[in-house]
Amino acid sequence: MGAHMIKRLDPWHEKLIDWLILHPERPRRECAEAFGVTYVWLSMVINSDIFRERLAERHAKHADLISRSVIDQAQAVAEQSLEVISERLEAKRDSMPVSEVREIASLALRTLGLSGSAAGPAGINANTVNILSVDGAALERARARMRDPKELTIEAEHPVLPAPQPAEASG
């Protein structure tokens, strides 16, 4: 019965959707009162196919906006934090206690999944840690690429890091 009730949506329906998204915890009777309609009529509108489809679209957009916002904020905080740590490491490089440097390095490795804390076969602890040196200009270019979403794709022709070179035998 409700599926044939509404043929198209108008601005009133969009306002109703806004109310439902803004107040998901509120009872439908309160919604009906807020819009000056009966509960039965509101139920028929809300349960119509066209309304349910539009409500689902709007819910998805709303959830996507919230997700993007949270991710963007978390990424901005992470970038700022890493910049501060990087600047402090550079500024206090010679005076920073080894224990502090070790703690920062351990946190960075753990974050990258390279800490070796994952349980492997009993008695075997084989971790490889590669320490690479990067100049400041290369680091700044990498940060700029990281901030540009178009640059986040990695292609074979553009390796992120140069291929490792074998160490020369000394002496």
pLDDT, residue 75, reads 85
pLDDT, residue 119, reads 45
Domain residues of the chain, as ranges? 2-115
- Evaluate if residue 95 carries a pLDDT over 60: yes
**DSSP structure string for 48-103:** SHHHHHHHHHHHHHHHHHHHHHHHHHHHHHHHHHHHHHHHHHHHTTTTS-HHHHHH
Q: Which two tokens stand for residue 87?
A: 């600047």
Cα–Cα distance, 37 to 31 (Å, whole number): 9
Tens digit of pLDDT for each residue in 134-149? 677 777 787 777 777 6
Radius of gyration of the chain (CA): 28
Cα–Cα distance, 27 to 19 (Å, whole number): 11
Tens digit of pLDDT for each residue in 4-60? 568 899 999 999 999 999 999 999 999 999 999 999 999 999 999 999 999 999 999
Of residues 44 and 110, the one with the higher pLDDT is: 44
Q: What is the pLDDT confidence band of residue 150, given thresholds at 50, 70 and 90?
A: low
Give the predicted TM-score (pTM) of the model.
0.43
Q: What is the pLDDT confidence band of residue 3, given thresholds at 50, 70 and 90?
A: very low
